[in-house]
Structure 1
Amino acid sequence: MKKLFPLVLLLISLAAIAQRPQRQDVESIKITGTVLDKDNGDPLEYATLVLRPINDPTKVTGGITNEKGQFDVEIAPGTYQVRVEYISYKTYQKNEQEFLTSTDLGTIKLGIDVEQLDAVEVVGEKTTVEVRLDKKIYNIGKDLTTSGATISDALNNVPSVSVDVEGAISLRGNENVRILINGKPSAIAGFGSTDALRQLPADAIEKVEVITSPSARYDAEGTAGILNIVLKKEKTLGFNGSLNVNAGYPTSSSISLNSNLRTDNYNIFNTLGYRYRDAPGNAFFDNTYTSGSFDRVIEDRIYNRLGRGFNINLGMEYFLTEKSSLTGSIFMRFSDDDDLTENTNERFNESLLESRTFREEVETEDDNSYQLSLNYINNFDDDGHKLTADFQYSNEEEVETSIIEERNTFPDTQLIVLEDVYQNEVQDEFLIQADYVLPMEDAQFEAGYRGNFENQVTDYKLDSLDQATNQFVTNEGLTNKFTYTENVNALYTQYGNKMGKFSFLLGLRLENTQLKGKVESDFDSNAIEEQYGVDVNLDFDKNYLGLFPTLNLIYELNEMENVSLGYNRRINRPRGRYINPFPSRSSRTNIFQGNPDLNPAFSNAFDLGYLRRWDKITLTSSVYYQKETDSFERIQESTGQTTTDGIEIIRSLPINLSTNERIGAEAALMYNPKKWLRLNTSFNFFKFSTEGVFNGIDYGTDNTSWFGRFSSKVSLPAKVEWQTNAFYRGPTQNSQTESKSMFFLSLAFSKDIMKDNGTIGMNVSDLLNSGKRRSYTETEFFTSRSEFQFRRRSVNMSFVYRFNQPKERNGNRRGGGNDNNGGDDEFEG
């Protein structure tokens, strides 16, 4: 909002200038300078420079600052009144300044005008996308369709990002993406899983950084790139905050409170939330077999998932001096889920129904997460010279208990199996990080260290009822304790420079990765090793030392147009359920099993980008290429075992394939034809090919796919906003499975009330109830047609009340300890 106001003033001024004849007989001179926030040294983009000639005050000229706060304008020699303006900041003014030659005004620091904060009139909206040297920043906090939604839902509205019906997040169609919170791995995002993102409210997000060509400052983890979710932290002086209440159908409700108390000496911030959500879903499978007792099996599943969650994030930033601050925060999340899955199973031979069974699984899950964070920042000067240090400890414990009962319902009625499953997963993670930034003239040097130390213990037990004795018997082959350790130590350095219209950022990261696994069992652990083959060792200790170079280049064709080129080398480490050898079973005949023998995958990626801005249009586009070795592929194979009633058991297993090549192109267009209308669209097309053989089967394939999204926001009379979001994903295919296309449509409306302190809203997610994954799998021994819907169409009502807080946030504030998101301080060129 605040950026558009000075821009409008400038356009009016330039329009007035354009109507007057210009002098051509006088050589022009250049006036340059930089505008920064007085308190924290941040550059102020779109600040307005106004130059008014003393001898003719009607001939106003000037310019606006770029993303680094710099301006560069040409004027005729003479005496001028100089004024630098930025909405909600005190105006800088100098009278009768004589300019006879090109002059650098140096650094101009603007301070907050507290008295004007509450009187600021919002005349526009902050741009939806900001393009930097190595990333795109999407401000999604004003997305109406995220009201009452989760962080996972909100990510599905970000260009280049897609979230499938099971919550798996992809970047440019690639699921090997690293999720960070405020620039760091976090218990908030979950460890090795994105389930936690489905439990946290979307209104906690300030912005999402899509980093497709990460610099050396970032972890090398994630071959597709990085998604950095930056959470909100109010920066307005005094006590302020907001209350958000939501209710919807299917049954869902949530309440969250964001509060902030800020003085000149400290800042206390708190987010408190409770969520209750029912997620009814369904699935259908039509399977045919070449062996076993039946040639066709049809499964019809109904899911009823009830989730309850409470989260709190409490922190304090204390300003030690004018240049340094210490921030401490604690995050806690407690969730209690109850899931009921009902599975009707019909078995056929030659189209005749032979038997029917009914399977019921009752699962309870308690998930508790804690995270303690400390951040120290010391700004040695106002030019960006600083040192930051971070310490973070996270703990997550997840306890799952399941009772699985399956009975024959045709032609007779009898108990087939009764199982009791217990799984306890505990994970601890320590993070230590230090970053040093040294700015130089038109350049910047950085260096740092990061250590991640993670330990995960999974205790799994499966008991089955022995109907002959009516006693539960432990399955000795699957009851084990698996301990997984991942330690990563990294050093990095990078250097950036700007030479005229050309900028570059060159970096090198050295990482040492240690992966350790150990199986402990009161029984014979060889039983589980036999499921993988003789080459798999469940007790392993692997070390990987690698160099990860990065290079980002940008050339400014003019103020409104640039071309960029990026290169990076990345790693994808196996983690979470992909290495856990204990199977999860959606039915007795279909299981998923992690592979502890997975090795990390490595990739080299190139990205060529183009940006063009017009008066009302912004275009961002890129062409990219990636080659990955030892890439992960999820395959389905026969276990060679059958159930007690003769159905072949199929296993899904992740493996290392030899190579995976991906080439694609994407484009995003933001168009604001009218003050009341905003249009956004993006499109991504990619082709990938894989090569590799496993257990004598060739899993190589070639495929092309695409996805696109469209969003429109219309301002109606009576302060009513209307937003439409549409997403389409084209069909895709790997060596075994073809996934059908999917279309997803959402609508949202909102209206400001209570003198703009309150907002009521309504949104409909998946209006057409079409958010379903449909796929077809074919192997040598079976085929499967399936359809899966995680949650059906939902309607949500919301109410937001803001106290002592303008609807739009205006300006930055002093300090920045907790605002370090792992990238904002990088050299931008």
Structure 2
Amino acid sequence: MKNLKFTIVLLFLLLGLSNFAQQGPPAFTKVKVTGKIVDKKSNQPLEYATITLKNQKNPKAISGGITNNKGEYEADVIPGVYDITIEFISFKNIEIKDKKITEPTSLGTIALEDDASQLNEVVVRAEKSSVEIKLDKKVYNVGQDMMVKGGTVSDVLDNVPSVSVDTEGNVSLRGSDNVRILIDGRPSYAVNVAEALRQLPADAIDKVEVITNPSARYDAEGGSGIINIVLKKGKNQGFNGTLIASTGIPETYGLTANINYKTEKLNYFTTAGFNHRTNEGGGKTNSEYFNEDGSVKNYLYEDRETERTRDGFNGRAGVEWTVAPNTYWTNAINYEKNTGEDNDLINYNSYDASRVFTGTTYRLNTGDTGSENASFTSNLIKNFNDKGHKLTVDTSISRNTDDSQSVITGSDNYNNTLNNQIQKQGQLQADYVLPLGEGSQFEAGYKGNFADLNNEYYVLDENGIKIKNLSNTLEYKENINALYTQYGFKANKFSYLFGLRWEDTNIEVNLLEDPIQFNTKKYNNFFPSAFISYEISDQSNITTSYSKRLSRPRGRFMNPAVNYSSNVNIFQGNPDLDPSLTNKFDVGYIKRWEKVTFNTSAYFEDTKDVFSFVRSPTGDVVNGVPVIKSQPINLGKEQKYGFEFTLNYNPFKIWRINSNFNFYNVKTTGEHSYTDTNDKVIVQNLDNEATTWFARVSSKLTLPYKIDWQLNGTYNGEQKTAQGKNLDQFSMNTAFSKDVMKDKATIAFNISDIFNTRKMRSYTYLDNQISYGEMQFRKRQFNLSFTYRFNKAKNEREKNAPRNEGGGDGGGDFPG
């Protein structure tokens, strides 16, 4: 089986690379054709409009381009006479005949008119690639991925280049979990971010932006980078929308509606959905214990079966008002409510030193969960001209409650745990962009993030009395104010972008128990960034970049509430963690051919006070078994270097291949000390160096009868840790879809984790114990979905695309 996994991954990679190698440079000297396309009525730029140039003497020689968010395009053609066609969905085409092009030519600004007769038609266009590679980020278009139909945001992220999601839902970027996750440019401070991402349905997502080395305009937080999840925003003229129904095994079903109504000045958009999800999982922990002389003492095998069900409703409604031809004001409200049940059964089987069975016990954790989130966002954009001079102001407020209660019963104990959380957030941001001539611009802005969290957690014994050493009330307050400025300009084939960000942080972490513990963290830092790009040709660029990043501990890292599902292997956060600082260096190269886009980068990261999980005995014993606690600490220093490449290849019109490969080396230096049961200070040396790799390949092929088939495989290599090693992991997914009802509807079927191999497996080595563990959060799943579109094309390019899809982390584009 292991050889099969390697063979499948390598075949995909070799196929992509061999075809890539066959592509060659242009055989003729070409000239550039440029221009701009706008909406005739509003004079707003049209993004994703297409221009096609067909050579009259050689009809097979076709060139063209797609407009960017400024409505601009460029295309390279062999000198000759061309017929030119300019198209955009629901607009009248424009044709230019017998255009002689012998030198660089500008077609100027071309205005397209609405074609009212097309508004109610379904027009199938060539699909936009599911992965767009840009120099400063990768953009993953969710709508083109059949794998995530009926899934959640976690499923979406697990298909994004450079991103991986482990079996517990934790997100990492380039192998590091110090990543900043934004939704429409706004942060989430949920204590359990992984669980929050599982609640949001994939059908509400438009695209995901991955920024591995952000500039000064972005938050400094996120040592390995930023992932921005962009929600759907309808922009099409008139009344239109999409309905999606799904069902699956284990029991899963849902219904989502995205509806939009647009007039000349007002655009109303809404998304509402209900979903029921069942996740079946399991795991085990096999431990071998030793005496002080090194001989075997006994064995304990834990077998776990889990089932989690969730019922969730999410709704979003808003309106965009065109106050003036150059001023737009958008307001939206969001509401989410989720309830669920958890069942976690652990059987403990004990054996003596000779592996003779000595007894069994069990532990059953049954619980109820509930969360409710409400937020309001407002976005104002003032365009002073059509050359990029603009002011953007964003505000948002939100309130979140998250409650859970569980009853733990076992062979020899009874406990009750409760966790109640209330969180309030506010954000204010202003961004100003001023072009200063051809290819240069100045930017400046302010951003304030304000959060207040109260988390009460306690464990009751069989008499209903609170167990003090396992109970606490956490009060967390965070105020962050930031200022930034940056300047970009272009000189010949070089483009430069230099920026500086200043952030002032004031954090209070208080434990309201006896005795009360106060932890105040106040610090301010400067975060410089620099980007230099060289245009080798119209189709290739090389970029070098530097930025300073910060990672603030949050969520389960900070929360001292004890994960009490196992009474011998427990997890506890650390409210005294300090932030870590990272210096990031990156050299990237991108090359585009007609059918191939290749992007590669080499990177180096140097981090101080990096977070690391350590395991150590608590001194407690349950039925003769020592209790081991896992907790995050500020370890010391970490240095990481690696390289990655992303390859998009379209060998034929019906076949598209995307591949991503990442290889890296991580070296950590540090130690941890604790006091054992004999009051002896034990110092753990946690120095570690590990090399590993990650690969993902996705193929989408149109079969006969217009059936689309998608297949992807993911492999994570083995990685050594300071106290053991994480074993390799392989998984594969597949999906089929078919358009029906004259292409107004689509039926899709997908299988997640075909071979049921997506398990986190690891070994842990301690002084008196060796443990092997497996964890599978979700077993293999089958999903069937039905999508119906009314007054909307399947792959429609939305005109008047969102003007600030980052939702606040906007700003101008890289100069040039």
User: TM above 0.5, one fold?
Assistant: yes
Q: Indicate whether 1:400 and 2:404 are aligned.
A: yes
Q: Which of 432, 437, 444 is the matching residue for 2:428?
A: 432
How has the CA–CA distance of structure 1 residues 417 and 40 changed in structure 2, closer, same or farther, with 3 Å as cutoff? farther
Per-residue Cα deviation, 1:784-819 (whole angstroms, up to 9, x for no partner) = 101111111111111111111111122422773667
Partners of 2:220 and 2:521 in 1: how far apart? 18
How has the CA–CA distance of structure 1 residues 29 and 555 changed in structure 2, closer, same or farther, with 3 Å as cutoff? closer
Q: Which of 498, 510, 518 is the matching residue for 2:510?
A: 518
- 2:155 aligns to what SS in structure 1? helix
Structure 2 letter corresponding to 1:281: G
Q: Indicate whether 1:561 and 2:540 are aligned.
A: yes
Decide whether the 8 Å contact of 1:477 with 1:524 is kept in 2: no
1:616-695 superposed matches below 5 A: 616-643=595-622, 645-695=623-673
Partners of 2:484 and 2:419 in 1: how far apart? 39
The alpha carbon displacement at 1:159 in A equals 1.1
Partners of 2:218 and 2:777 in 1: how far apart? 33
- 1:152 aligns to what SS in structure 2? helix
The alpha carbon displacement at 1:119 in A equals 5.6
Partners of 2:78 and 2:595 in 1: how far apart? 26
How has the CA–CA distance of structure 1 residues 726 and 149 changed in structure 2, closer, same or farther, with 3 Å as cutoff? same
Residue 535 of structure 1: aligned partner: none
Structure 2 letter corresponding to 1:501: K
Per-residue Cα deviation, 1:193-234 (whole angstroms, up to 9, x for no partner) = 121211222122211111011111110110010111112212
How has the CA–CA distance of structure 1 residues 584 and 91 changed in structure 2, closer, same or farther, with 3 Å as cutoff? same
Residue 226 of structure 1: aligned partner: 226
Partners of 1:248 and 1:101 in 2: how far apart? 58
Partners of 1:30 and 1:813 in 2: how far apart? 26
The alpha carbon displacement at 1:118 in A equals 5.3
Q: Which of 163, 166, 175 is the matching residue for 1:173?
A: 175
Partners of 1:240 and 1:621 in 2: how far apart? 40
Partners of 1:353 and 1:76 in 2: how far apart? 84
- 2:809 aligns to what SS in structure 1? coil
Residue 11 of structure 1: aligned partner: none
Residue 442 of structure 2: aligned partner: 445
Q: Indicate whether 1:87 and 2:73 are aligned.
A: no
Structure 1 letter corresponding to 2:326: K
Residue 129 of structure 1: aligned partner: 131
Residue 348 of structure 2: aligned partner: 345
1:571-582 superposed matches below 5 A: 571-582=550-561
Partners of 1:399 and 1:101 in 2: how far apart? 67
How has the CA–CA distance of structure 1 residues 45 and 327 changed in structure 2, closer, same or farther, with 3 Å as cutoff? closer
How has the CA–CA distance of structure 1 residues 35 and 238 changed in structure 2, closer, same or farther, with 3 Å as cutoff? closer
Structure 1 letter corresponding to 2:775: F
Residue 3 of structure 1: aligned partner: none
Decide whether the 8 Å contact of 2:235 with 2:802 is kept in 1: no
Residue 563 of structure 2: aligned partner: 584
Residue 5 of structure 1: aligned partner: none
Q: Indicate whether 1:326 and 2:326 are aligned.
A: no
Q: Is there any run of 5+ residues in structure 1 with no aligned partner, and where?
A: 1-17, 408-415, 466-470, 526-537
Residue 472 of structure 2: aligned partner: 480
Decide whether the 8 Å contact of 1:145 with 1:747 is kept in 2: yes
Structure 1 letter corresponding to 2:619: G
Partners of 1:164 and 1:792 in 2: how far apart? 13
Decide whether the 8 Å contact of 1:180 with 1:186 is kept in 2: yes
Residue 531 of structure 1: aligned partner: none
Decide whether the 8 Å contact of 1:319 with 1:815 is kept in 2: no
Per-residue Cα deviation, 1:402-424 (whole angstroms, up to 9, x for no partner) = 111110xxxxxxxx111111111
Structure 2 letter corresponding to 1:705: T
Residue 338 of structure 2: aligned partner: 335
Residue 362 of structure 1: aligned partner: 366
State the number of aligned residues. Answer: 773
Decide whether the 8 Å contact of 1:294 with 1:646 is kept in 2: no
The alpha carbon displacement at 1:100 in A equals 12
Per-residue Cα deviation, 1:364-406 (whole angstroms, up to 9, x for no partner) = 1111111111111111111121111111111111111111111
Q: Indicate whether 1:596 and 2:575 are aligned.
A: yes
- Most deviating of 498-507 and 44-53: 44-53
The alpha carbon displacement at 1:454 in A equals 0.7
Per-residue Cα deviation, 1:121-172 (whole angstroms, up to 9, x for no partner) = 5352212333334212122311111111111011111111111000011111
Per-residue Cα deviation, 1:310-347 (whole angstroms, up to 9, x for no partner) = 11111111111111121111111111110011111012
Residue 23 of structure 2: aligned partner: none
Decide whether the 8 Å contact of 1:35 with 1:65 is kept in 2: no
Partners of 2:64 and 2:148 in 1: how far apart? 36
Partners of 1:101 and 1:251 in 2: how far apart? 63
Decide whether the 8 Å contact of 1:134 with 1:552 is kept in 2: no
Decide whether the 8 Å contact of 2:122 with 2:791 is kept in 1: no
Decide whether the 8 Å contact of 1:300 with 1:345 is kept in 2: yes
Residue 9 of structure 1: aligned partner: none
Q: Which of 149, 152, 169 is the matching residue for 1:150?
A: 152
Percent identity, please.
39
- Most deviating of 561-570 and 196-205: 196-205
Structure 2 letter corresponding to 1:87: F
How has the CA–CA distance of structure 1 residues 757 and 73 changed in structure 2, closer, same or farther, with 3 Å as cutoff? closer
Q: Indicate whether 1:506 and 2:484 are aligned.
A: no
Partners of 2:237 and 2:629 in 1: how far apart? 57
Normalising to structure 1: TM-score of the pair?
0.88
Structure 1 letter corresponding to 2:531: N
Q: Indicate whether 1:767 and 2:783 are aligned.
A: no
Residue 461 of structure 2: aligned partner: 464
Whose radius of gyration is greater, 1 or 2? 1
- Most deviating of 154-163 and 32-41: 32-41
Partners of 2:32 and 2:657 in 1: how far apart? 37
Partners of 2:762 and 2:60 in 1: how far apart? 66
Residue 285 of structure 1: aligned partner: 285
Partners of 1:375 and 1:72 in 2: how far apart? 34
Q: Which of 520, 529, 532 is the matching residue for 1:541?
A: 520
- Most deviating of 137-146 and 695-704: 137-146
How has the CA–CA distance of structure 1 residues 49 and 382 changed in structure 2, closer, same or farther, with 3 Å as cutoff? farther
Partners of 1:800 and 1:489 in 2: how far apart? 43
How has the CA–CA distance of structure 1 residues 819 and 288 changed in structure 2, closer, same or farther, with 3 Å as cutoff? closer
Structure 1 letter corresponding to 2:378: L
The alpha carbon displacement at 1:235 in A equals 1.5
Q: What's the RMSD between the two structures over aligned residues?
A: 3.0
The alpha carbon displacement at 1:352 in A equals 2.6
